[in-house]
Amino acid sequence: MSDQSQNIGPPTGTGPLAKREARLAWGLLAPTIAIVSAVVVLPLLAIFWISFKPIGLADLRPPAPVAREALRGADDKLRVEYRIRNSSQSEVIRAVTLSDELPAGVTMREADERCSFSGAAYTCDLGDLEGGQRERVSIFVTIDGDEDAAEEAIEGSAPTMTGKGKNILTNAEFTLENFARVFDGDEFWGVLWVTLFYTVVGTVGALVFGLFAALLLNKEFRGQGLLRGLYLFPYVAPVIAVAFAWVILFDPFSGSANALLIQMGVTDQAINFFGERPLALIMVTVFEIWRYFPLSFLFILARMQSIDTDMYEAADMDGASPFQKFWYLSVPQLLGILSVLFLLRFIWTFNKFDDIFLLTGGNAGTRTLTVNVYEQAFAVSNIGAGAAVAVVIFGCLLLFSFFFFRTMSREEGL
């Protein structure tokens, strides 16, 4: 009896069935893991790799010999001419060769001394090409038959080029110069402060306005659905449309906002809202709040409508004020969704690029880390420095997430 009772119970997880289920689970998860790795992990590793490489925008394409073939001249100067260049301006390509074949009806009369023929086929040994070096190879020919057809045949076939060049993307040359450039001087800390101000104020503002909007619409009244739809307009509208609408609205010369302020006597002259410090930073932060508070509003309203109304009825019977009901009943119920929204909005706002770029282009004290990535990688053509800034952004968000989850776990433990 005791032996039978010991055998009865849940599986321990180490038997053949449990192992088979574990293998099946990993097999089902394998496609998802592969897709996540391809979409997220591999680009992230590539950014880390590039951040330690002295690489510019022109170095993204590996060095290779490039040749253009054309039939030039006439009569005794008729020739097949190759214009060859090194695609890299700095790296040497070694042991460069050109191989091609003359089409039917075309006969070689005289060739470049670097070329050797085997029938109609030939190979030209060009040696080493320095960075940016250009070469010409001419093969004088005679054409028996239609010259236009021969020209079309010559220019329609591409020669075969070979050569070995050092690829800066894959070699073992690394440097810390990119990170030294990022942290050099006071520029980085100023950009970081702007990023933190924009992110923290924008995130908190979007949550506060979303909470306020949810409180207003958490009642049944006529036209409630239409008003909710209008609240969602800033979030669903195309960002390029609303950004340019704001730029036109607050334009210092023809904007309606300046005209209204002058008519009301608030100011004597036009205000350059997106061109003066620190007003430009405040304006792009206000735009961030206005554009993204509907997302917070939508989630908070959904959570508020799931709260049991019996608590509010009991509070009414106890004589609680509206503020007391909000602070002691609603807020504890909303802390979960507010914390998740804060985490998501912080990460999204920290990575935000298009809003600031469309409004100010990063000028007038609105240059954030993401704008810095663009400027380093494309405006300055320093891909390595841009990748280094991206790594710094990843580190900042990783650090924030660590402290956030540690704080949340501590609060749950209390």
Domain 177-413 carries which CATH code? 1.10.3720.10
Residue 279, SS3 per DSSP:
helix
Strand order of the β-sheet with 79-86 is 65-72, 79-86, 134-143, 106-111
Mean pLDDT check: name the lowest of 55-69, 141-155, 400-414: 400-414
387-414: pLDDT as tens digits: 999 999 999 999 999 999 888 776 655 4
- Confidence (pTM): 0.77
Contact criterion met (CB below 8 Å) for 195 and 368: yes
| Confidence (pLDDT) at 272 | 92
216-243: pLDDT as tens digits: 888 877 877 788 888 889 999 999 999 9
- Interhelix angle 279-304/224-231, rounded to 10 degrees, is 140
Residue 351, SS3 per DSSP:
coil
For residue 228, what are its two tokens? Answer: 């909710």
Query: Length of the chain, please?
Result: 414
| Confidence (pLDDT) at 13 | 55
| Confidence (pLDDT) at 248 | 93
For residue 252, is the peptide bond before it cis, meaning its omega torsion is within 30 degrees of 0? Answer: no
Instruction: Tell me the C-alpha distance between 335 and 211, whole Å.
Output: 11
**Using alpha carbons only, what angle is made at residue 339 by residues 333 and 342, rounded to the nearest 5 degrees?**
135
Residue 326: DSSP 8-state? I
| Confidence (pLDDT) at 9 | 45
241-293: pLDDT as tens digits: 999 999 999 998 888 998 999 989 888 888 999 999 899 999 999 999 999 99
CATH domain 65-165 topology: Immunoglobulin-like (2.60.40)
| Confidence (pLDDT) at 315 | 84
Give yes or no on whether 65-165 and 177-413 have one common fold.
no
Given a cut of 90, whether residue 300 has pLDDT beyond it is yes
At 185, the pLDDT band (50, 70, 90 cuts) reads low
| Confidence (pLDDT) at 78 | 87
Contact criterion met (CB below 8 Å) for 69 and 80: yes
| Confidence (pLDDT) at 350 | 95
| Confidence (pLDDT) at 217 | 87
Determine how many CB atoms are found less than 10 A away from the CB of residue 306: 9
Percent of the chain at pLDDT exceeding 90: 37
Determine how many CB atoms are found less than 10 A away from the CB of residue 21: 13
Domain ranges for the chain, please list them. 65-165, 177-413
At 5, the pLDDT band (50, 70, 90 cuts) reads very low
Mean pLDDT check: name the lowest of 136-145, 197-206, 344-353: 136-145
Contact criterion met (CB below 8 Å) for 280 and 361: no
Residue 301, SS3 per DSSP:
helix
**Using alpha carbons only, what angle is made at residue 248 by residues 247 and 253, rounded to the nearest 5 degrees?**
105
